[in-house]
Structure 1
Amino acid sequence: MKRYQIPTLFLCIVSFAGYAQTENIEDISRALAQQQLEAYNKRNIDEFLIPYSDSIKVYTYPNELRYQGKETMRKRYAGFFERTPDLHCEVVSRTVYGNVVIDKEALTGIGKDKSKIREALAIYTIEYGKISEVRFVRKPKQ
Structure 2
Amino acid sequence: MNAEQRVALVQGQLDAYNNRDIDKFCSFYHQDVTAYRLGQDAPFCVGMESFRKIYDDKFKSTPDLHCTLKSRIVLNNKVLDEESVVPSGSHVVAIYEFKDGLIKDIWFAY
Do they fold alike, i.e. is TM over 0.5?
A: yes
SS at match of 1:29: helix
Residue 89 of structure 1 deviates from its aligned partner by 0.4
CA contact (8 A) 1:25 1:98 kept: no
Q: What is aligned with 1:97?
A: 75
Moved over 2 A (4+): none
Q: What residue ranges of structure 2 are gaps of 5+ in the alignment?
A: none
Unmatched runs of 5 consecutive residues or more in structure 1 = 1-23, 111-116
Q: Which has the higher helix share?
A: 1
Which of 25, 29, 34 aligns to 2:11? It is 34
Aligned length: 109
Q: Distance in 1 between matches of 2:14 and 2:81?
A: 10
Greater RCO, 1 or 2 (C-alpha within 8 Å, sep 6+)? 2
Alignment partners' CA distance in 2, 1:58 and 1:35: 18
Partner AA of 2:87 in structure 1:
G
Q: TM-score, normalising length from structure 2? A: 0.93
Query: In structure 1, what is the equivalent of residue 30 of structure 2?
Result: 53
Over aligned residue pairs, what C-alpha RMSD do you find? Answer: 1.3
